[in-house]
Amino acid sequence: KKVADRYLKREVLGEGTYGVVYKAIDTKTGQTVAIKKIRIGKQKEGINFTALREIKLLKELKDPNIIELIEAFPHKGNLHLVFEFMETDLEAVIRDRNIVLSPADIKSYFQMTLKGLAVCHRKWVLHRDMKPNNLLIGSNGQLKLADFGLARIFGSPERNFTHQVFAPWYRAPELLFGTKQYGAGVDVWAAACIFAELLLRRPFLQGTSDIDQLGKIFAAFGTPTRSQWSDLEYLPDYVEYQYVPAQPLRSLFPGVSDDALDLLSKMFTYDPKARVSVQQALEHRYFSSAPAPTDPAKLPRPV
């Protein structure tokens, strides 16, 4: 039984934020694909025009470090998004205790992450949900950003449909303070958290709620001062808080190179206006100094 006369359904791969994802074979090309089913049946008018326009934009975002949206079609009250199939993701790599990540491997994975992000930011698309399990890895070792722009099209739910609350670990401080006018800086902060996680091999700031997440951020970087972040007190959810000093970055990331620490500190800048852009991060000397990033085909991956 084929879906849309073209795709042969295989096993379910998992349940994501917006619905079930299953594996399928594209009978037109023989390619293995992953199809994300998004429930739209309840909305009477179906999917709105804005969403369709955004999906068209995603289809046009073609880059080696962005997952390809092959097509999108409605079927039985669900919107089906067809993506290229990917073997694994960065979360599986970070968690696999049998994998040793050298500084060159970390540089390679992180550079691919930023390259994908840079392409999207150049087209004024924000990701808004950067986390290691949204960074998919193909059989050739290429890392590709997934779930781009979906948060903007379908909204960012508070919980996924197995009712788990999303961890706020990758959320930028301006979001935690309730800003509605955020920009590309939210993806830069999340990318910095992913860089930290690659270096530490565990999530860096593991808050249990938005408030707790801010506490974890303050405990690491110190409470933001007015000179560091002048707009802070105008943010919607701003509250006075007790002063906490910053930890030296070196003590949080022992054994990490000076270049890596310098890049981390520039990405973990409180004021989103002062935070480096993705492009500036890519031009940081961390990426030009030794060791050179590992060739993606030679990167360690789960067996």
Would you please indicate which residues are annotated as catalytic (active-site) residues? 129
- Using CB under 6 A, which of the segments 107-115, 128-136, 225-233, 252-260 binds ligand ADP? 128-136
Least CB distance from residue 225 to ligand ADP, whole Å? 35
Least CB distance from residue 81 to ligand ADP, whole Å? 9
Near ligand ADP in 43-72, by CB under 6 A: 67
Least CB distance from residue 17 to ligand ADP, whole Å? 3
Binding track, positions 80-99, relative to ligand ADP; x by CB under 6 A = ---x-xx--x----------
CA 223 to chain centre: 25
Choice between 33 and 106, CB closer to ligand ADP:
33
Contacts for 180 with CB less than 8 Å, ≥ 6 apart? 236
Identity of the amino acid at 132:
P
Distances (CA, A) of 89 to 12, 18, 83, 203: 17, 18, 14, 15
Choice between 90 and 118, CB closer to ligand ADP:
90
Near ligand ADP in 129-158, by CB under 6 A: 133-134, 136, 146-147
Q: What is the DSSP string of 37-91?
A: EEE-TTSTT-S-HHHHHHHHHHHH--BTTB--EEEEEEETTEEEEEEE--SEEHH
- When asked if residue 21 is in the footprint of ligand ADP (CB under 6 A), the reply is yes
Exposure class string for 13-25: b at 16+ Cβ within 10 A, else e: beebbbbbbbbbb
- Using CB under 6 A, which of the segments 41-49, 78-86, 112-120, 205-213 binds ligand ADP? 78-86
Backbone angle region of 180, left / alpha / beta, with phi > 0 → left and psi within -120 to 50 → alpha: alpha
Residue nearest to ligand ADP (CB): 16
- When asked if residue 13 is in the footprint of ligand ADP (CB under 6 A), the reply is yes
- When asked if residue 235 is in the footprint of ligand ADP (CB under 6 A), the reply is no
Q: Count Cβ atoms below 10 Å from residue 1 Cβ, excluding itself.
A: 4
**Antiparallel, parallel or unpaired: β 7-15 and 2-3:** antiparallel
**Antiparallel, parallel or unpaired: β 20-26 and 7-15:** antiparallel
Residues that bind ligand ADP (CB under 6 A): 13-14, 16-17, 21, 34, 36, 67, 83, 85-86, 89, 133-134, 136, 146-147, 160
